[in-house]
Amino acid sequence: MIGISSVAGVLICLAAVLCAILIKPAPAQLTISVNEISLAVDDVKSIEYDISDETATVSFEIYDSNIVEIVDGNLVGRQVGSTSIRITATRDDDRAIATTNIYVTENPDGPITDLPAEIKLYLLDKDIETALAEGYNYQHSFTSYKDYTVVSTGNSVKVSNNTISAQREGETILTFSSKNSNQTQTVTVWVESISPSIANLPENLELNKDERFELSYLITPSYYTGEATVTFETSSTCIEIQENTIIAKDFGTGEVEVYLNGERAGTIHILVKSEEEIEIEKVIGGTFEGDTIYAEADVLRIRLSKSGEMSVYCTSGDVSREMDYIVLSDFDDGIIYVSFPELGLEKSFNIVK
């Protein structure tokens, strides 16, 4: 027979076991620590730290990614300088933070800068956003991996705050020297002006005798900053040029040559029209009414009210001259164009077969 005291003892033991099962001790407070970190430019280094609980989630934040970056969980030195890293560990509602400095030093085996051997820049001082969108850069920023001095052979660019800026046309050779070694790096920079062009000038112009036409134009592109001297010249007798104004002096055709900074930039073709009209006087092989000729034969002979040196073109058929007649053969319905350049006359006639 089991006594009461024995039963009580068993119950007390069971209660102690249950308490040990149900009551777990609180985990120790989460802690994390890290020492200062040093690495060279282009070096790759793992992030080392001490943490009290390896199961905690850890995240990293670099304050200046221009100096150091995190790539695939490792630190990569980008340029000489110092920054800091913030390491945050989290476990449920517990969080620990550690911060330390990172120092990036020169890489004795690496380059002084990331500059290429040759650079082309352009002179710009207006509408820069449009110019940049079209690929015309006036500055080139670079990354330096070492403390340097720079010597220039020309004055077409200036170097300041790791940026090369265009100043004037020309070629400049930049020599970068490391302050802590005998290492040098040479960069050739060409600075060019944007090539200008002329817009808004007519290609063809018809004027009446004694009429004046003022030539207006635009220099493009909008970000062109160089000189733009535009001149107009003509050897034609039917027109005259006074500054930027064309004056129609006599009937006929002429040309105006356009020059930009002394280089030929285009031609304006001009017709000084006569008040007279070209009319049909006679048609052999057909009839006519106004400006329309009705063919009744396979060959048409057309005599006009004007004679002299003329130019004839037909959209259908063969055209020749016979005394005072225009001869049209092997034709279908079309249009015949006639001009007398010396008289400043042009006219077109419809052909109906």
The DSSP secondary structure of 297-346, one letter per residue, reads: SSEEEEEES--SS-EEEESSSEEEEETTEEEEES--SEEEEEEEGGGTEE
pLDDT of residue 1 exceeding 50, the answer is no
Predicted confidence band of residue 256 (pLDDT cuts 50, 70, 90): very high
pLDDT greater than 80 at residue 3:
no
Dist CA 295 CA 284 (whole Å): 9
Over 90: is that where the pLDDT of 146 sits?
Answer: no
Average pLDDT over residues 134-143: 95
pLDDT band at 26 (very low <50, low <70, confident <90, very high): low
Percent of the chain with pLDDT over 70: 93
User: In this predicted structure, what is the pLDDT of residue 273?
Assistant: 83
3-state SS, residue 128: helix
pLDDT per residue over 38-56, tens digit each? Answer: 998 889 999 999 999 999 9
Q: Which of 267, 199, 203 is nearest to 228 (CA)?
A: 199
Type of residue numbered 197: S
Sketch out the chain's domains with CATH numbers: 32-105 (2.60.40.10), 118-192 (2.60.40.1380), 197-273 (2.60.40.1080), 280-352 (2.60.40)
Poorest-pLDDT segment among 160-169, 201-210, 313-322, 335-344:
335-344
Q: Quote the pLDDT of residue 7.
A: 45
Residue 2 has pLDDT above 70, yes or no: no
Tokens of 40: 């060279």
Residue 23, pLDDT above cutoff 60: no
Specify the pairing of strand 263-273 against strand 204-208.
parallel
Q: How many residues are listed for the chain in this entry?
A: 353
Tell whether the torsion through CA atoms of 200, 205, 208 and 209 is positive or negative: positive
Please compute, for residue 57, the number of CA atoms within 13 A of its CA located in the half-sphere on the CB side: 6
**Do residues 299 and 285 make contact, with C-beta atoms less than 8 angstroms apart?**
yes
Residue 25 is predicted with a pLDDT of 65
Please compute the mean of the pLDDT values over residues 161-178 and round it to a whole number.
Answer: 96
Q: Are 80 and 105 in contact (CB under 8 A)?
A: yes
Residue 132 phi, psi dihedral angles, 5° rounding: -60, -40
pLDDT over threshold 80, residue 213: yes
Asked if pLDDT for residue 134 goes beyond 90, the answer is yes
Residue 313, beta-bridge partner list: 337
Least confident interval from 59-68, 271-280, 317-326: 271-280
Q: What is the mean pLDDT of residues 184-198?
A: 95
Q: In the predicted model, is pLDDT for residue 142 greater than 50?
A: yes
Least reliable range by pLDDT among 24-38, 169-183, 289-303: 24-38
- Among all chains, which residue has been given the structure tokens 């040309």? 255
48: exposed, middle or buried (Cβ count in 10 Å: 0-12, 13-18, 19+): exposed
The predicted model scores a pTM of 0.54
* Helix/strand/coil for 80: coil
For residue 299, list its beta bridge partners: 329
**Is the pLDDT confidence value at 21 over 60?**
no
**Antiparallel, parallel or unpaired: β 345-352 and 334-340:** antiparallel
Q: Read off the pLDDT band of 22 (50, 70, 90).
A: low
pLDDT value at residue 6: 53
pLDDT of the residue at 180? 83
Summarised one tens digit per residue, pLDDT across range 70-94 is 999 999 998 889 999 999 999 988 9
Q: Determine phi and psi for 349, rounding to 5 degrees.
A: -130, 145
- C-alpha atoms less than 13 angstroms from C-alpha of 52 in its C-beta half-sphere: 13
Contact between residue 328 and residue 351 where contact means Cβ atoms under 8 Å apart: yes
Q: Is the predicted pLDDT of residue 340 greater than 70, yes or no?
A: yes
Q: Is 153 helix (H, G, I), strand (E, B) or coil?
A: coil
pLDDT in tens, 279-328: 999 999 999 999 999 999 999 999 998 888 889 999 999 999 998 899 99
